[in-house]
Amino acid sequence: MKFLHVIRYSLWLVWQVVVAATDVVLDTLRPNQKQQPVLIGLPLRVKSDLEVTLFAESITMTPGTLVCGVRETDAGRLFIIHAIFGADLDALYDSLYDMEEHLVPRLRDVPRPKAFVFEEYNADQFIDPDAVVGVAAEVDHGLPLPDGIASNGEDKGARS
């Protein structure tokens, strides 16, 4: 990455963090919160380990989103992401792919892969401390991938 691009991306990312933090704080103070947690699979276009790491860190440092793991599929890597504002999935996917394109501008001409929701994830299960959900399910059991996406057996879920 060129030095000027690093500076430009860093400033853009700081602004995204400020906007997201404001959204989370304001929503927390609302009587009718808009939070609707969702666990998604986001196929990546970034290829190098450095790009994947920087993209994961950018997502995780943005309030309201967390990269829970990386899964290797036949089509390449995908992130398993927990987001608290999942009511508008298209807007969520667009914001994540926008971040990927700001990080690696050459991707603006590369078609965006189809992201998806892990249907087996149910945020209501968090009220049961013994329930296996989220990262624990990915590590111990592996969340099922949707039809058409095959795992190559090298899952790299977050480990505690």
In which domain, by residue range, is 13 found?
3-121+130-143
In the structure encoding, which two tokens stand for residue 74, read together?
């036949």
Using the structure block, give the residue that is written with the tokens 């970034």.
46
Give per-residue pLDDT as tens, 55-88. 999 999 999 999 998 988 888 999 999 999 999 9
**Residue 148 forms part of a structural domain:** no
State how many domains the chain has: 1
Q: Looking at the domain assignment, is residue 156 inside a domain? A: no
Residue 154, in any domain of the structure: no
Whole-model pTM: value is 0.78
Distance CA 118, CA 137 (A): 11
CATH number assigned to the domain comprising residue 39: 3.30.70
* CB burial of residue 123 (10 Å; 0-12, 13-18, 19+): middle
**Residue 21 DSSP symbol:** H
Query: By three-state DSSP, how is residue 84 classified?
Result: coil
- 159 within a domain of the structure (yes/no): no
Q: Is residue 151 part of a domain?
A: no
Is the C-alpha dihedral spanning 117, 150, 158, 55 positive or negative? Answer: negative
